[in-house]
Structure 1
Amino acid sequence: MHIARTLFFALTLLFFACKTEKKEQTDPEEQAALPNIVIIYADDLGYGELGAYGATELKTPNLDHLANNGMRFTNGYATSATCTPSRYALLTGSYPWRNKSAKILPGTAPLIIDTAQTTLPKVLKQQGYTTGIVGKWHLGLGSGHVDWNQAISPGPNEVGFDHSYIMAATQDRVPTVYIENGKVDNLDPNDPIQIDYQKNFPGEPTGKDNPELLKMKWHHGHDNSIVNGISRIGFMKGGEAAKWVDEDMADTFLAEAKRFVKEKKDQPFFLYYALQQPHVPRTPHPRFVGSSGMGPRGDVIVEADWCVGEFIKTLEEEGLLENTLIVFSSDNGPVVNDGYYDDSVEKLGNHKPAGPLRGGKYSLFEAGTRVPFITYWKGKITPGTSDAMVSQVDLLASLAALVNSDATTQDSQDLLDVLLGKSTNGRNELIIEASTRTAFRKGDWAMIPPYDGPAIIKTVNIEIGNDPEYQLYNLKEDLGQQNNLAKSHPEKLAEMKAAYTKIRGIAEE
């Protein structure tokens, strides 16, 4: 009996040893077959800003190249008409209205992604990817009061990113410093950073009180601490050596994105490259000043296009382009004057940032969330245009399918074949959001429920969709949403209301 038992255990150990050895031999091959994944995310870029989407006044050759040699989506959506909620949905695969904290955040907000939550970088890490984020974060940092002079946690590294080089919030908010893997870059410990969003620090100049120190005048909401001659939202003291130079920001983030690619090129990588353009303050590098003829807003779009071109060039030089899936989109629709006097209105000319769409950033009309949406994979995606409805919330499930993961979430749908141009069966319905208000897309129809409040935000001159009555539009016949069919199509309105309530009701249970 003892001999038999010993023989059984010996054979069992041999069996598992063979299986382990076989797995170790095949894993590198499986990893090598995985494509690199890059998401390039613009900030406030509208549906009509690129030549490939109908722009005639701006030159965007590099983004047009991606669109014309990849799959250009005409029904591609962010989930929200503002930044933080869209970024939350992209990384978590969850509608932002399910999280009450997913709204435009101050620079001192705590992290709004639960560290136990499923995220896109976590899913890819589990499949052997090295993951990185470069650029704008704006999803909160820490768990309460942040000491910017110590290691900052939790943040991107705690929700799935191996490497992070970010700004905490937006270019117009303090702190105006870069943060690498939880630590402020180039911080002098003898000049500690202090941040406050309620009151100023004694003796510190502000845009409101010291307009003579400004190189860019504020228009609304940006009259606090002055950094590099630009007044911001919030108050900051100290950290002089760590403060960014606004005009160098695009170059800084591009260099970091290129460095990540070069260092991680020998293994599958995922890079979330979050551009800061064309969000305010628009501060093009001197190389791009005057390049668009449309003032700083146009110039930073040209600059962003150049950055994308230089990044693609790096992939090509490193021999990675044929094995890299690139997704390009924007976090929400466009806004022209968003807080500074920068000639964005005066020099707009014939350019239409929203293209044929109504509304813009902050809006429940189509221009708030329908944005450029491009997938590019050299040699794998046949160039074309798709009218399929796709949303950034679907990237988690779709990219999980690409890397043979079964990860998904309640809201994210596997649309991999659609993104690769192999299918036209996109989403049938989608809830969009703007400043906690929600609306509904289903098929060719859009429905906006009644909302109180002003119909237009006058400071930015954007219609946001508020109306005391239901609004119903047939987008196939009325893309500009000029004809409200709610009263003339009561059956369709009832159908839309029922479908919308069914989805929203999940969050209320």
Structure 2
Amino acid sequence: MRILSLALVLLTATVAWAADGEDRPNFLVILCDDLGYGDLGCYGNSTIQTPNLNALAKQGMRLTACYASAPVCSSSRAGLMTGRTPSRIGVYDWIPADNVMHLQASEKTIASLLQADGYATCHVGKWHLNGKFNSDQQPQPGDQGFSHWFSTQNNASPTHENPNNFVRNGKAVGQQEGYSCQVVADEAIHWLKSGRDADKPFFAFVCFHEPHEPIASPDELVAHYGDAKKEGEALYYANVENMDRAVGRLMKAVDDLKLAENTFVFFTSDNGPETLNRYRNAWRSHGSPGPLRGMKLHIYEGGIRVPGIVRFPGRITPASESDEPICGLDLLPTICELAEVSAPKDRTLDGASFAQSLDGGKVDRPAPLFWHYYNAISPAKVAIRDGDWKLVAHIDLGTKKAGGYFRPEVSQAIKQGKLTTLELYNLADNLAEKHDLAAEKPEVVSALKKKLQTKYDAVLDEAPDWAAPSK
């Protein structure tokens, strides 16, 4: 009888655990490419039509101090996926095709952690975490936690229209009809409706190529912006609007499948906007950083502060806003907390969970937010944010030239770079970073410099060198 009672107790516990497992939240992370802080209606843009993202903000929370992990694409994605500062794990810059730099197999990602705990996982769109794409020489999306993937190495090629460089689960699929954001949305919607194991909670990572160059947009949407004066301006605005339509279709699928109540949706961008004529073919880039200084490839706010919208019914008050600083690095610990999955304990995590901020709380952040980018356009290449204070430092890389794409021989120069000129800004009073307070606040500079130097040294001490490929 005692054996039977014990069996019933164990059975009851197992059933209860299973029921709890079924209630674990789903996660949908939507990442845009080069979308500026000022590109959406809900962030003050009065020209570009973004009704679906405006509606998403009204359904959830608009983040006014949402940061990317880095001011450049591959680095930002690596930080988001791992919760670790990109330079710490050796993703120092954007990754050209066939480059040696990649997200290493030893890293634990959001997808690998959730997959190991019973989640169905899917990546759709831009990958950009390796140079040797769809090759056994470097890890692919399927090696880093995604049971289904429909991806490109970098940008949609030859443009967003009828792209021909997608690979599905290791097999090239040839030219796709339509525009990249809609192709990506189609795949994600198909997976949600019939491609996943519906008995499992899911993590879907949907990465649009828009509005990164080379931009292509439907003529019907370009016609919405007949008042545009500059070459390529209407094309860019239509590109953002087309992406907004793709988000709308994706959210409708979630709602139609009655998944909304238990799905955490996070929308953001990988870095700030590309700006017109930075390079010869960027004539279609008209992204806006809004009131912020700088753009993509800058450590200033315009390069790293991005749109951020979270929807999680029952946890988030609709149409709410939060000025709590959060970063792409925070996504892994946040998702782990919400999913009740253990975050990695065997390595340094640079992010912190922002789960408490969803209902008005503060992020318990043990160390200041930190950004490092050796190849920035501006001389400022390292920064920390501690409360409202932001300290920016220039780096002296010595005689080694670091311009252009990443090369293995640059690794040592990066690791030996010395911090030089310091700039200090109070973001509460000076969001545009126009007034450098370093000379006026030497005591603040001194305290923050110690924190910055400590973090900088720790990150570069762990950062790997990349060996040149053997010939």
* 1:343 Cα deviation after fit: 5.2
1:328 aligns with 2:267: yes
1:402 alignment partner AA: L
Superposition TM-score, scaled by structure 1 size: 0.76
1:87 alignment partner AA: R
**Residue-by-residue CA offset, 1:304-329 (whole Å, 9 max, x unaligned):** 11100111111111111111110011
Say whether the 8 Å CA contact 1:77–1:370 is kept in structure 2. Answer: yes
2:166 is matched with which residue: 178, 188, 193? 178
Say whether the 8 Å CA contact 2:112–2:146 is kept in structure 1. Answer: yes
2:321 alignment partner AA: T
Assess, with a 3 A threshold, how the Cα gap between structure 1 residues 108 and 476 changes in structure 2: closer, same or farther: same
1:441 aligns with 2:377: no
Equivalent runs, 1:88-237 vs 2, <5 Å = 88-109=78-99, 112-140=102-130, 154-171=139-156, 177-185=165-173
Query: What does residue 368 of structure 1 align with?
Result: 303
**Residue-by-residue CA offset, 1:161-191 (whole Å, 9 max, x unaligned):** 1111001122368995111112212xxxxxx
Say whether the 8 Å CA contact 2:71–2:304 is kept in structure 1. Answer: yes
Secondary structure of the structure 2 residue equivalent to 1:280: coil
Partners of 1:253 and 1:487 lie apart in 2 by 50
Q: Percent identity?
A: 30
1:279 aligns with 2:212: yes
Partners of 2:144 and 2:25 lie apart in 1 by 22
Partners of 1:506 and 1:468 lie apart in 2 by 18
Assess, with a 3 A threshold, how the Cα gap between structure 1 residues 416 and 166 changes in structure 2: closer, same or farther: same
2:188 is matched with which residue: 244, 248, 257? 257
1:28 aligns with 2:13: no
Runs of 4+ in 1 over 4 A off after TM superposition: 14-24, 150-153, 172-176, 338-343
1:430 is matched with which residue: 350, 369, 386? 369
Partners of 1:173 and 1:496 lie apart in 2 by 46
Partners of 1:69 and 1:76 lie apart in 2 by 18
Query: What does residue 212 of structure 1 align with?
Result: none
Query: What does residue 198 of structure 1 align with?
Result: none
Unaligned runs of 5+ in 1: 1-10, 186-241, 458-466
Secondary structure of the structure 2 residue equivalent to 1:261: helix
* 1:439 Cα deviation after fit: 1.4
Query: What does residue 234 of structure 1 align with?
Result: none
Query: What does residue 462 of structure 1 align with?
Result: none
Partners of 1:324 and 1:137 lie apart in 2 by 23
2:316 alignment partner AA: I
**Residue-by-residue CA offset, 1:94-138 (whole Å, 9 max, x unaligned):** 000112344211122357222232210112123321011000000
**Residue-by-residue CA offset, 1:426-452 (whole Å, 9 max, x unaligned):** 646211233453211111111111246
Superposition TM-score, scaled by structure 2 size: 0.82
Unaligned runs of 5+ in 2: 227-232, 376-380, 398-402, 404-418, 462-471
Number of aligned residue pairs: give it.
419
Partners of 1:19 and 1:112 lie apart in 2 by 49
Say whether the 8 Å CA contact 2:103–2:139 is kept in structure 1. Answer: no
2:440 alignment partner AA: S
Assess, with a 3 A threshold, how the Cα gap between structure 1 residues 101 and 448 changes in structure 2: closer, same or farther: same
Say whether the 8 Å CA contact 2:176–2:183 is kept in structure 1. Answer: no
Partners of 1:340 and 1:250 lie apart in 2 by 24
Which of 1 and 2 has greater Rg? Answer: 1
Partners of 2:218 and 2:199 lie apart in 1 by 32
